[in-house]
Amino acid sequence: MLYIVKNKKMIGNLSEEEIYLPKEIKQAITDNFNELKNSGLNIWNGKIMCVDKIIEDNQFVKVLCKKSDYAHYLYAEKNGLPVEYGCKSISAGCVLETKDGYFVVGELGDNTSYPGMLQTTGGNIDEKNDITNGNIDFLNTIVREAKEELNIDLKNEKLVSNHEITYMYIEEIDKQKGVRILSKATIDMTAKELQEHFEKYNEYLINNNLETEFERLHFLKKENAIEELNGLKNPKREYLVNILKYECENNVVTL
């Protein structure tokens, strides 16, 4: 379900408590991660946050999280787990629109956990960089991910306008749910200019043996975004489909 939260304060808190997992589930998670790693995927098992509870009123939305790791998330998403042992991940990103009216969609590379997946820029909350005294800074995650993936500085007011947290998406997939906090921003580049910028940045990453997240970018004209998205055969993040539908049709629930 997609919610509009731009008129509310987003609050995130992380407790020191880890999600309890029985020994046999822990072993299955470890075996699954090692198998994926040995297959050649460029993945690492860092700490992630899992949503425990969401509280909201007329002025704020508060997301309470516990700790787990990426191996747990991957196993739960691909194989499923009982609700009490699931990993409802929390992540943040940005819906980018170029100044000539194109939505920017990234396609994950073959060396990632989800090759070919279409999504916005963004990623998991980083405990070291995005959390202070248990308080989660969603905007910091969003800014950091855009810089890492696209070399776009969302804090640059000369380049970016209308940047604010706008959406909260709670996935409704069968195996497990995730929560995604998303901002919306317009960048002072045309689709062609951003494509050239992206190509130069990816070339720099490759030449310096640095990790690339997106294999390529897709630019969807706002007036035909859904039709163009449906025309792409790649797997698509559930939130991406619903946000573009909202942008085109304005069909959403305000939280």
Q: For residue 249, name the pLDDT band (cuts at 50, 70, 90).
A: confident
List of long-range contacts for 199-202, beta carbons under 8 Å, 24+ apart: 201/150, 201/151
Per-residue b/e over 3-32, b at no fewer than 16 CB within 10 Å? bebeebebebbbeeeebebeeebeeebeeb
Q: Which residue has the tokens 């309470």?
A: 64
What backbone torsions phi and psi does residue 80 show, to the nearest 5 degrees?
Answer: 85, 150
What's the pLDDT score for residue 78?
A: 84
- Over residues 196-201, mean pLDDT: 98
Amino acid letter, 87: C
If you average pLDDT over each of 34-48, 51-65, 78-92, which comes out highest?
Answer: 51-65
Q: What does the pLDDT read at residue 185?
A: 96
pLDDT in tens, 105-122: 999 999 888 899 999 999
Compute the distance between CA of residue 87 and CA of residue 49 in angstroms, rounded to an integer.
8
CB atoms within 10 A of CB 242: 18
Q: Confidence class of residue 175 from pLDDT cuts 50, 70 and 90?
A: low
Q: 139 is written with which tokens?
A: 């905007």
Where do the domains of the chain lie, and which CATH numbers do they carry?
2-254 (3.90.79.10)
Contact of 209 with 90, CB cutoff 8 Å: no
Contacts of 200 (CB under 8 A, 6+ apart): none
pLDDT band at 239 (very low <50, low <70, confident <90, very high): very high
pLDDT at res. 250? 65
CA 21 – CA 93 distance, rounded (Å): 29
CA distance 91 to 144: 12
Residue 2: predicted pLDDT: 92
pLDDT tens-digit series, residues 127-153 = 899 999 999 999 999 999 999 999 999
pTM: 0.85
Give the pLDDT mean for 240-251: 83
